[in-house]
């Protein structure tokens, strides 16, 4: 589609130039009144007509280059540059096409055909990995904005027919540049206008998805729709797998499960834009109190980790707290891989849950019947195995007080050997 757009733009440029070439030179028969410039010098006129009427592309290029060198101030300079630009493009010479387009927009700052070519090629070459991509994106944005500013001033009816297509070209250059600069405020609206006009173009659909998903805050609903759409548009199997994986992960993170992801992929295969009312339900995590209630319903106290005991005893209902505490109080417990926060011969302050280990905050205080020998007192940061008997606890900040402590020189029983893997809250 992008190639077709540019071919249409340039095709009209060539036709327009050929028509201008038919304007009579001085001494030629009169023609209908026209606002087009007229070459008055017969030699200049013949050189111009000879160049533009060449059927062979290379011959036309040589003729036009010679004409512009010989007559740099010709009234037909802009038309000659426009035809030369189109001929280079038809010959697939991107470098010379862009060089000629740059000359053209220097001479005619609102030549939207030239601006469209520059904005387009700067953008797609940068997306293709050109070593000078950063500068090309900046240039593409400049030409894109210049083109958008010029379009309302254009009265040519042929260009008016292509206004929507050119608007898409200009907005794409602006949007991709803004995305690269992490200017999501600029990238999202520019790319969305482009995609709305051409939703089958992967080169703008995928960046639009990224702009939605990486903005602050992200627009996950639109971002997930377009990342699924992009997965359906990409032709490379590896690229498709990568996009599907990325989209799936973002979908699960936002929605809370993968339910509906396959349906979204199927929908976006045939639906190019989000339909009216489209939405994806956001996952609302349960509160700590809800998590505590669920734990008590689904696990017995002896099946829970220390962090899960801590969650229920600090966030659960009085009834749930009593249920857990009655199962723990006065019972000898063995625990493994507990981190020492502070140590003294008769008392240790320990962290058993991942949250508290990360924050170096004690959630267990265990005392020993007698003082430990100096060589047995653990150091701060050590991981130890121990046993003790719970006698009390404070809910917030949570600390379980244990007595009859003893260090275990051997591994704790299997149920206790597992390190803490549950956090107090998700």
Q: What is the pLDDT of residues 33-63, one digit of tens each?
A: 345 678 899 999 999 999 999 999 999 999 9
Q: How many beta carbons lie within 10 A of that of residue 21, not counting itself? A: 20
pLDDT of residue 36: 65
The residue-averaged pLDDT of 260-274 equals: 97
Residue percentage of the chain with pLDDT more than 90: 84
pLDDT of residue 284: 86
Long-range pairs, 394-400, Cβ under 8 A, ≥24: 395/313, 395/314, 395/321, 396/314, 397/361, 397/363, 398/310, 398/313, 398/314, 398/363, 398/424, 399/362, 399/363, 399/364, 399/365, 400/309, 400/310, 400/313, 400/363, 400/364, 400/365
Whole-model pTM: value is 0.68
The residue-averaged pLDDT of 160-186 equals: 95
Report the interhelical angle of 202-214 vs 220-233 (nearest 10°): 150
Least confident of 7-21, 256-270, 345-359: 7-21
Question: What span, in angstroms and rounded, lies between the C-alpha atoms of 13 and 412?
Answer: 83
pLDDT of residue 285: 86
Q: What CATH number is given for 2-196 in this structure?
A: 1.25.40
3-state SS, 232-260, equals HHCCCHHHHHHHHHHHHHHHHHHHCCCCC
Output phi, psi for 389, to 5 deg. -120, 115
Residue percentage of the chain with pLDDT more than 70: 88
Q: What is the architecture of the domain spanning 288-417?
A: Beta Barrel (2.40)
pLDDT at 27 over 90: no
pLDDT at 168 over 70: yes
Could you report the per-residue pLDDT of 271-296, keeping only the tens digit for each?
999 999 999 999 888 899 999 999 99
pLDDT of residue 378: 95
pLDDT of residue 409: 79
Q: How many beta carbons lie within 10 A of that of residue 161, not counting itself? A: 11
Report the interhelical angle of 202-214 vs 163-180 (nearest 10°): 40
pLDDT at 159 over 80: yes
| Residue 3 vs residue 88, higher pLDDT | 88
pLDDT of residue 412: 52
pLDDT at 231 over 60: yes
pLDDT of residue 413: 53
For all residues of the chain together, what is the average pLDDT?
A: 89
**Domain limits, CATH 1.25.40, in the chain:** 2-196
pLDDT at 21 over 60: no
C-alpha dihedral (127, 133, 138, 139), degrees to nearest 10: -90
**Domain limits, CATH 2.40.50.110, in the chain:** 288-417
Question: What span, in angstroms and rounded, lies between the C-alpha atoms of 369 and 347?
Answer: 9
pLDDT at 348 over 70: yes
The residue-averaged pLDDT of 141-145 equals: 98
Could you report the per-residue pLDDT of 394-422, keeping only the tens digit for each?
999 999 999 999 999 765 554 443 444 44
């Amino acid at each position: 589609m992008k190639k077709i757009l540019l071919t249409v733009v340039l095709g009209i440029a060539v036709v327009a130039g050929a028509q201008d070439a038919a304007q009579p030179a001085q001494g030629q028969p009169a023609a209908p009144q026209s606002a087009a410039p007229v070459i008055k010098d017969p030699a200049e006129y013949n050189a111009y007509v000879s160049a533009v009427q060449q059927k062979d592309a290379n011959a036309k290029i040589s003729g036009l280059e010679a004409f512009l060198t010989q007559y740099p101030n010709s009234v037909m300079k802009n038309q000659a540059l426009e035809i030369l630009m189109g001929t280079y493009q038809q010959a697939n010479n991107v470098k010379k096409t862009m060089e000629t387009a740059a000359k053209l927009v220097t001479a005619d700052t609102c030549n939207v055909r030239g601006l469209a070519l520059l904005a387009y090629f700067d953008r797609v070459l940068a997306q293709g990995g050109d070593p000078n991509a950063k500068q090309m994106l900046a240039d593409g944005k400049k030409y894109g904005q210049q083109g958008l500013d010029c379009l309302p001033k254009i009265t040519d009816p042929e260009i008016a027919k292509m206004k929507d297509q050119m608007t898409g070209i200009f907005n794409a250059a602006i949007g991709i540049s803004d995305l690269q600069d992490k200017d999501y405020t600029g990238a999202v609206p520019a790319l969305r206008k482009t995609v709305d006009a051409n939703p089958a173009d992967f080169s703008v659909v995928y960046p639009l998805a990224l702009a939605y998903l990486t903005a602050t805050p992200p627009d996950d609903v639109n971002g997930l729709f377009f990342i699924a759409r992009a997965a359906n548009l990409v032709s490379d199997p590896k690229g498709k797998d990568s996009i599907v994986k990325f989209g799936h992960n973002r979908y699960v993170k936002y929605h809370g499960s993968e339910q509906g992801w396959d349906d979204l992929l199927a929908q976006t295969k045939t639906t190019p834009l989000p339909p009216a009312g489209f939405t994806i339900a956001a996952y609302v995590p349960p509160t700590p109190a809800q998590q505590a209630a669920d734990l008590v319903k689904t696990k017995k106290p002896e099946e829970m980790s220390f962090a899960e005991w801590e969650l229920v005893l600090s966030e659960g209902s009085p009834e749930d707290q009593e249920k857990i505490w009655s199962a723990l109080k006065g019972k000898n417990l063995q625990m493994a891989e507990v981190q020492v926060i502070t140590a003294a011969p008769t008392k240790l302050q320990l962290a058993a849950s991942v949250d508290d280990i990360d924050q170096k905050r004690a959630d267990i205080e265990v005392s020993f019947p007698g003082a430990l020998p100096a060589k047995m007192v653990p150091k701060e940061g050590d991981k130890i195995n121990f046993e003790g008997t719970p006698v009390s606890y404070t809910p917030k900040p949570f600390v379980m007080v244990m007595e009859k402590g003893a260090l275990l020189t051997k591994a704790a029983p299997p149920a206790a050997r597992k390190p803490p893997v549950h956090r107090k809250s998700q």
